[in-house]
Amino acid sequence: MRGFGLCPSVTSPLPRSAALFVNAKSRKGRQSFEEARRLIEAAGIELSIARAIRKPSTMPACVRQAVADGVAMVIIGGGDGSISCSVDHVVGSDTVFAVLPLGTANSFARTLGIPLDLAGAVDVIAHGQARRIDLGMIDQDYFANCATLGIAPQIAKTVPHGLKAWLGRPGYLLWAAYKLARFKAFRLTVDTGDAIETLDAVEVRIANGPYHGGVELVDEAAVDSGQIVVQVVIGETRWSLVWSWLLSALRHRERRRTTREFEGQAIRLSTPRPMPISIDGEVLAKTPVTARVARRAILVAAPTPSPRAGS
């Protein structure tokens, strides 16, 4: 795995003041807001703002205003969708972006090595380091972890909120199985700038990090590589996707035979008809698009590397 591995020389201490915004509609948000505030303040971090956001569409405006007001660190509690809609407003600033993983998959937190329990995540915010990382871009929209073309956007567009809220990941997987029964392969054209290739695909992952849906799928992707990775699951039937998922979940070496990878700073993707693209779990774009890397775009709160990891 090529994970989060910046060298210690590009790190700096984390601020001791912050603004906290928690998505109260995320699976754990409502229960976790008060505990998060208590743990953060007990760790010696002063909260100038602490707000439970019950209307997630207002989260970006809250983050944008906090950054404009010059807060040293913004702490986002929620899932990958909350992170994706917030991260744009930190780009180009010195505000540190910190994460409390309160969603279903928490792929971005996994990529950064942030513990998935609330106390562990707060410990990173209190005792970790600020590190500068890359972001992905779909046209002009920044994303933190992974954008997807294929069945994932169809699931994200239609999954009943109650099913996901009540059952979490099992509920999401049940809905995925339902949508998979109706899914068909598609033709994809990939233009890297040096070559153009058209192939049969059942899923496309546009990755800034190795995790998608909480599972490590794109080994070549890293948040400090300066490259965007497009991983195409190749095949002509839905069973090609099921087989690739199974091999990837088992970390079987044969999983690599089910995919093609393209790397670069900008890659153009197109399909015969426009297809929806989910960006960190939210459907926000359609093909054709250009996927790019935004090099060293933001500062994040990340765990302090162990001496062995930094050697």
In the prediction, which pLDDT does 183 show?
Answer: 82
In the prediction, which pLDDT does 281 show?
Answer: 76
d(CA 177, CA 113): 29
In the prediction, which pLDDT does 305 show?
Answer: 82
Tokens for 34, please give them. 């008060």
pLDDT band at 173 (very low <50, low <70, confident <90, very high): low
Domains of the chain: 8-134+298-310 (3.40.50.10330), 142-296 (2.60.200.40)
**pLDDT, tens digit, for every residue of 3-50?**
454 443 356 899 999 999 999 885 567 788 999 999 999 999 999 999
pTM, to two decimals: 0.86
For residue 303, give the 3-state DSSP assignment.
coil
d(CA 293, CA 192): 13
**pLDDT, tens digit, for every residue of 217-243?**
999 999 999 999 999 999 999 889 889
In the prediction, which pLDDT does 299 show?
Answer: 97
Element (H, E) at 309: helix 307-310
pLDDT band at 180 (very low <50, low <70, confident <90, very high): confident
Q: Is 163 exposed, middle or buried (0-12, 13-18, 19+ CB in 10 A)?
A: middle
Least confident of 87-91, 178-182, 290-294: 178-182
**pLDDT, tens digit, for every residue of 251-310?**
899 999 999 999 999 999 999 999 999 988 788 899 999 999 999 999 999 999 865 544
**pLDDT, tens digit, for every residue of 105-155?**
899 999 999 999 999 999 999 999 999 999 999 998 999 999 999 987 777
Our measurement of the distance from residue 67's CA atom to the centroid of its chain's CA atoms, rounded to an integer in Å, reads: 21
In the prediction, which pLDDT does 307 show?
Answer: 59
For residue 55, give the 3-state DSSP assignment.
coil
In the prediction, which pLDDT does 172 show?
Answer: 62
d(CA 110, CA 159): 23
In the prediction, which pLDDT does 167 show?
Answer: 55
pLDDT band at 162 (very low <50, low <70, confident <90, very high): low
Our measurement of the distance from residue 27's CA atom to the centroid of its chain's CA atoms, rounded to an integer in Å, reads: 16
Residues 6+ apart with CB under 8 A from 12: 129, 130
In the prediction, which pLDDT does 164 show?
Answer: 58
Task: For 37, list phi and psi in degrees, rounded to 5.
Answer: -60, -40
Where does the chain show beta strands of DSSP type E? 11-13, 17-23, 46-53, 73-78, 96-101, 129-138, 141-143, 146-150, 186-191, 196-207, 211-212, 215-216, 228-234, 259-264, 266-270, 276-279, 282-286, 289-302
Q: Is 5 exposed, middle or buried (0-12, 13-18, 19+ CB in 10 A)?
A: middle
Q: Which residues pair with 169 in a beta bridge?
A: none
Q: Answer yes or no: are the C-beta atoms of 121 and 109 closer than 8 Å.
A: yes
- Helix, strand, coil tally for the chain in percent (to 5): 35, 35, 30
